[in-house]
Chain A
Amino acid sequence: MLWTASSGFKHITTSELGQNANLVLAFGARAVVEDSAHFTALKNKYPNAQILLASTAGEIQNDEVFDDSLCVTAIAFEKTVLKAVSLSIDDSKDSYEAGVALAKMLNGENLCHVFLLSDGLHVNGSEIVKGLNNNIKKGVSCTGGLAGDASAFTKTLVGLNAVPEERLIVAVGFYGSNLKVGYGSIGGWDNFGAERLVTRSAGNVLYELDGQSALDLYKMYLGEKAKELPSSALMFPLGIKFDEDSDTIVRTILSVDEENNSMTFAGDIPEGCYVRLMKANFDRLVDGANLAAEHTKVNGASTNQLAILISCVGRKLIMGQRIEEEVEAVKNVLGESATITGFYSYGEISPVVESSKCELHNQTMTITTLAEF
């Protein structure tokens, strides 16, 4: 179901789950999701469902990308039991404990997957994921993303069975042995320029690279576009390697602090790590989305699946009107029978490869597929 200002709610599919739906995912522009009328409408339509809402930087429905809309997907799991939990976070320093608490609330017999949505600005996503990883039952996969706010980076909202609010983290646990979960997360960005040493940072706040101000470096590269910080910094995410042999993980900026001359990223930037600026290559971004979809096939079902696409706002900003190419690429791989929903986010959560722990990513197309058998 899709809501737009011009058309109101409009059904995309003919099936009408109504009271049978036990999970509803609603992704929308911040102004749309914070309008309580929309939540009330959903609650009335799906009285028995756990309703998860998140503000976004763009909504995905089927193979189209929307702005200023509300994309609603209702799901009726027949054999899988769901448990939805939420908690508020006052300070991003409490992120690890929040991850621990969520794991403790969800751990239980037959837990097979966790889907998480979080505030995108007041958390350290890496720490939530770390807390979750260290405490969730072994073998349980975890995917999800951080809510967005277009390119404004002002306020992000998440809700569980209520009008969404700031500083909230929501997670759904899936229990049972009849659920196939697939996931894939690929970036497609290219490193460029010199490798730089992180010489001063604290958690996800970066001060200096090679002894020089990191913010000044970004301003130099952005030129005129520096006025559009922090969103314009999404053009040049940081590729970070935690050690010589590790894979490059991409980090995007969430905010800048002119007074402290610092930049806050969606995940940790530890001192002593090496980073490089990254730039977009359109074809590789689309190829990345295609590959992420291919990865979901490793464990996922082949037909009749729900695909939740969480892609980074940076990809949307750089690709402009070509952004739908990446969604089309996913659709081509997953096939017509897949129901696709999702949103553009401030951070994506997924394991990198099969059987690895989940990690926070930026600038990726991250796909979760769910299907009962």
Chain B
Amino acid sequence: MSAFKTKLLERQIRKYLNGFTISDPMSKFLKTVDEAYSHYEANWVLMERSLDLSSSELMDAKAKISKAYQEINEKNEDLTSSIHYAKLIQEAVLPSEERFHALVPNSFVFHRSRDIVSGDFYWLQEYNGKTLIAAVDCTGHGVPGAFMSIIGNNHLNAAVREVGLTTPALILDYLNNGLTETLKQKTGDTMGIKDGMDIALISLDFAQMQLEYAGAYNPLYIIRDGQLLETKGDKFPIGLSIDNSLRKFSNQEVRLKSGDMIYIFSDGYPDQFGGPHGKKFKYDNFRDLLFSIHRLSPSEQLKQISSRFQEWKGNLVQLDDTLVIGVLVP
């Protein structure tokens, strides 16, 4: 039977001390060396084993993550495909750009969705010789925003087509009541959905050179003879109201002049982060931009607005849906 636990020590003794008589003190020393060899050998085996086990555990975990990733991907594809289909429905329900240009020839619409479907939408109706245009910004974006856009569009259509309203303030009151009722946003109803819309709505009568405007937060800009005239909206939204009977939208009239450039918009453009320091574009820059391009043709203005937006945003994500509508008074 071997005197030592480790083969390494036996081999070394055979090789280097072969034939020597091992004295008692030497034997004691060699036993200590043997203990050390044995200790490190056992540790080495343990560490190798732990490395193998943890590698295999990590590989198992990786396999599980890959499987989960695949499942998420498949679900994501299903979801994306559904949302793309929803986009088709949204496009079918909301007015097309072709229809917009057919009814308002000297105009542009800059509409960039943050997601596949949008919470910003434009609305258009022609009734009794008046052209009604709205730039609407539903709270939220993506799918919830898109649902809101369909509801808003339906109420706006009903206000004009079913009730016969053409006064912007009355249309907004109708929309406000309709939306509140639809979403059951009654006072004290804490289970109700707290969603709403900001909006700028204009009624154009080019025969009379008359514009009427009503707004929920979002203003109207008219650039005339080198001056930007701002008409502010009411400071409450559509929906989310405490008591609709106390909140009536105000109607404002503006006499138009040939060559006036009219703008209505959502807050997506001025709120977009970007530029050299990743800051908001802001309303000052937005007004400067409109002022610098207002003499260009509407189609050229659209190009400038689009390229400036992309340039400002750079590689940052788009914060919100963005909508800018411009109309040149003939």
Measured CB to CB, the residues of A under 8 A from B are 192-194, 220-223, 225, 235-236, 277, 279-280, 318, 320-321
In the bound complex, CA of A138 to CA of B40 (Å): 46
Measured CB to CB, the residues of B under 8 A from A are 32, 35-36, 39-40, 42-43, 46-47, 49-51, 53-54, 57-58, 61
Q: Which A residues touch B57, using CB under 8 A? A: 193-194
Does B50 lie within 8 Å of A320, measured CB to CB? no
Known: A193-B57, A193-B58, A194-B58. A321 touches B39 (CB 8 A): yes
Residue pairs across A and B with Cβ atoms less than 8 A apart, 29 shown, are A192-B50, A192-B51, A192-B54, A193-B50, A193-B53, A193-B54, A193-B57, A193-B58, A194-B54, A194-B57, A194-B58, A220-B53, A221-B49, A221-B50, A221-B53, A222-B46, A223-B46, A225-B42, A225-B46, A235-B46, A277-B50, A279-B50, A320-B35, A320-B36, A320-B39, A320-B40, A320-B43, A321-B32, A321-B39
Main DSSP-derived SS at the B contact region: helix
Known: A194-B61, A221-B49, A223-B49. A318 touches B43 (CB 8 A): yes
Q: Smallest distance from the beta carbon of B214 to chain A beta carbons, Å? A: 50
Does B46 lie within 8 Å of A321, measured CB to CB? no
Q: Smallest distance from the beta carbon of B147 to chain A beta carbons, Å? A: 36
Q: Smallest distance from the beta carbon of A192 to chain B beta carbons, Å? A: 6
Q: How many A-B residue pairs lie within 8 Å, measured between CB atoms?
A: 39
Q: Smallest distance from the beta carbon of A347 to chain B beta carbons, Å? A: 23
In the bound complex, CA of A280 to CA of B47 (Å): 9
Which chain A residue lies CB-closest to B51? A192
Q: Beyond the given A193-B50, A321-B32, could you list 16 further A-B residue pairs with CB under 8 A, ordered by the A residue number?
A: A192-B50, A192-B54, A193-B57, A193-B58, A194-B54, A194-B58, A221-B50, A221-B53, A225-B46, A235-B43, A277-B54, A279-B47, A320-B36, A320-B39, A321-B35, A321-B36
Which chain B residue lies CB-closest to A225? B46
Q: Which A residues touch B36, using CB under 8 A? A: 320-321
In the bound complex, CA of A321 to CA of B43 (Å): 13
Q: Which B residues touch A220, using CB under 8 A? A: 53
Q: Smallest distance from the beta carbon of B54 to chain A beta carbons, Å? A: 3
Q: Which B residues touch A320, using CB under 8 A? A: 35-36, 39-40, 43
Q: Smallest distance from the beta carbon of A21 to chain B beta carbons, Å? A: 36
In the bound complex, CA of A235 to CA of B53 (Å): 15
Q: Which A residues touch B35, using CB under 8 A? A: 320-321
In the bound complex, CA of A194 to CA of B49 (Å): 15
In the bound complex, CA of A194 to CA of B65 (Å): 13
In the bound complex, CA of A222 to CA of B42 (Å): 11
In the bound complex, CA of A235 to CA of B32 (Å): 22
Q: Which B residues touch A321, using CB under 8 A? A: 32, 35-36, 39
In the bound complex, CA of A193 to CA of B55 (Å): 7
Q: Which A residues touch B42, using CB under 8 A? A: 225
Q: Smallest distance from the beta carbon of B39 to chain A beta carbons, Å? A: 4
In the bound complex, CA of A277 to CA of B35 (Å): 27
Q: Which A residues touch B51, using CB under 8 A? A: 192
